[in-house]
Amino acid sequence: MATLMGEYHHSIDDKGRLIIPAKFREIIGSSFVVTRGLEGCLFLYSQLDWQKVVDQLNTLPFTKKDARNFSRFFLSGAINSEFDKQGRISITSSLKEYAGLTKDCVVIGVGDRLEIWSEDAWQKFFQESQEDFSDIAEHLFDGNLDL
């Protein structure tokens, strides 16, 4: 499976439809899942990658409150969807509200998923995070990644 990567800027229309770039559509396939993501964005998974995430969630102990709460939050917002003929997705009003999507959006590829951000939220996240990029890499990889 190809890696989803890149950053694209698009607008969401009044009906909650957002164009997904063709190169992403080719990798994702015709059917996918959109749900609440972390840091206020939406996650979009191919059906195959969604099933992997659900399988991981199913290994969490239901006796742990954090596991129950995360599963509730993550799965209750999930919707199955398909691209329309113009390569657009329809985003529900609750997901639009969660991610603060009004007009300008950013669609980024993050390995096994897409993230959909409001332009403002993405710019804020990017500005705040870019200063820590080197430190994050150092802590995550402990010098074991050749870049």
More confident residue, 69 or 145: 69
Taking a C-beta distance cutoff of 8 angstroms, is the pair 74, 67 a contact? no
Task: Work out the average pLDDT over 90-109.
Answer: 96
Predicted pLDDT at 39: 94
- CA atoms of 29 and 54, how far apart (whole Å): 18
Predicted pLDDT at 140: 75
Q: What is the dihedral of CA 52, 55, 56, 62, to 10 degrees?
A: 160
Predicted pLDDT at 134: 77
Taking a C-beta distance cutoff of 8 angstroms, is the pair 95, 34 a contact? yes
- CA atoms of 89 and 101, how far apart (whole Å): 13
pLDDT one-digit tens code per residue, 71-89? 999 999 999 999 999 999 9
pTM of the model: 0.91
CB neighbour class for 138 (10 Å; exposed up to 12, middle 13-18, buried from 19)? exposed
Portion of the chain with pLDDT greater than 70, in percent: 95
Nearest CA among 19, 21, 12 for reference residue 89: 19
